Structure 1
Amino acid sequence: MQPTTRREALRGPSAPQPTAVQVPESADRLPTRQVYGGAAMWWIGAHGGAGENTLAALTLGSQPAAHAWPLPSDRGAVSRAMVVARTNYAGLMAAQRVAREWAAGTTSGLVELTGLVLIADAPGRRPKELRQLEQHVAGGYPRLWTLPWVEAWRMGPPSAATMPREYRALLADLNLTAATN
């Protein structure tokens, strides 16, 4: 089924499946870190340069998770998180590793994974092979959003004034508010 928009409804597992997915080797897992205080959303970069700092700068009350699972310090609390990756091969493979780790249940009860945000690694259309890999990887996440390349952010800081509609739609879908910068 081909999506009609660049954002899609529920498409993959909505919860981990620890009995079906084996915990990855430690080298293939993200570290964990204790977080204090709540954030409306934790952006987890699957790899360096994924875009989690950009999304945090654009969103009020959100935080980058520094390429780690944000484990809440308060007993009974759950961190709401989104994995972020680029649409190149390395980024997609990193997102796949994170999906496997989540599916294995390593953060069950501590992190609520909302989905995957893929940010274009370059302007223009991606090659067919990367689009196919993207669809495969996205199947391991509850939801998928794909965001375009923003040329203006290459030469200056990201801002709400230059935020494309796809970014605004992501924030609206997640009930988040754009920062005014």
Structure 2
Amino acid sequence: MPTATTATNPWLAAEDTTPEEAAPEPTPQAAPALTGPAAPQAGVPAPAEDQRLPVVTVRDEASLWVVGAHGGSAESTIAALSESWRATSHRWPVPAAEAPVRAVLTARLSVSGIQAAQGALTQWACGLVPGVKLLGLVLVADAPGRVPRPVRDLAQVVGGGAPRTWQVPWIRTWRLGEPPDLGGSPRAARTLVKDLVALCDKEITNREDRA
């Protein structure tokens, strides 16, 4: 007599008899490399008074301070991308304590916006805002479509004075004042947030290692 076999229901998943294993540790996001100076440098001439941003002493906690180089620089929009980020209302945040604060500079991707960013970057580069660990410059497009060649060239020159530079394309919902939604945002916006989070985590880790 043939041996009876048990029929297998193809619609049911087979019982997993393998021993449980611990879930793998998530791979940390690699921090982007430097493309410009990491800290202020000796010999950089100070910008004119009208090209400097005001300075404010900050006592609140923030993993990152977002500094707008001018009005309409998307400062508050970028700060809203993370609950732990804070906008500074177009001012450099000088720490009240000894520990430095992390900051990113924002500006519109236009000639006037980039020129404002240049003045603010020079102010940082010559050492007028001590205690600020600048992570980079974020340039946000001010219109849909291709960026004009003169603007691209100026952005490349000025961006070379920042530790890193990111460019975010035109996002219509951001201009309409709607809460920024990373899920529906272009890849460049999602990459910006991942990079800044990784840089903040790296800075915190390095500080803890030195303590």
Evaluate the alpha carbon distance shift between residue 25 and residue 122 of structure 1 in structure 2; reply closer, same or farther with a 3 A threshold. same
Q: Which amino acid aligns with 1:92?
A: I
Q: Secondary structure at the match of 1:152?
A: helix
Contact 1:152 1:162 in 2 (8 A): no
RMSD: 1.5
Give the TM-score, by structure 2 length. 0.75
Match of 1:168 in 2: 190
In structure 1, C-alpha distance between the alignment counterparts of 2:124 and 2:62, rounded to whole Å:
20
Match of 2:18 in 1: none
Alignment of 1:4-43 (within 5 A): 9-17=33-41, 19-43=42-66
Match of 2:106 in 1: 84
Match of 2:209 in 1: none
Give the TM-score, by structure 1 length. 0.86
Identify which of structures 1 and 2 has the higher relative contact order when contacts are C-alpha pairs closer than 8 Å and 6+ apart: 1
Match of 2:5 in 1: none
Following superposition, which runs of at least 4 residues in structure 1 exceed 3 angstroms of deviation? none
Runs of 5+ unmatched residues, structure 2: 1-31, 199-211
How many Å apart are 1:175 and its aligned residue? 1.5
Match of 1:115 in 2: 136
In structure 1, C-alpha distance between the alignment counterparts of 2:90 and 2:35, rounded to whole Å:
24
The one-character-per-residue Cα deviations of 1:50-76 (angstroms, maximum 9, x if unpaired) are: 001001112120000110011122x21
In structure 1, C-alpha distance between the alignment counterparts of 2:167 and 2:178, rounded to whole Å:
20
Identity of aligned residues (%): 45
Runs of 5+ unmatched residues, structure 1: 1-7, 177-181
Larger Rg, first or second structure (1 or 2): 2
In structure 2, C-alpha distance between the alignment counterparts of 1:122 and 1:12, rounded to whole Å:
27
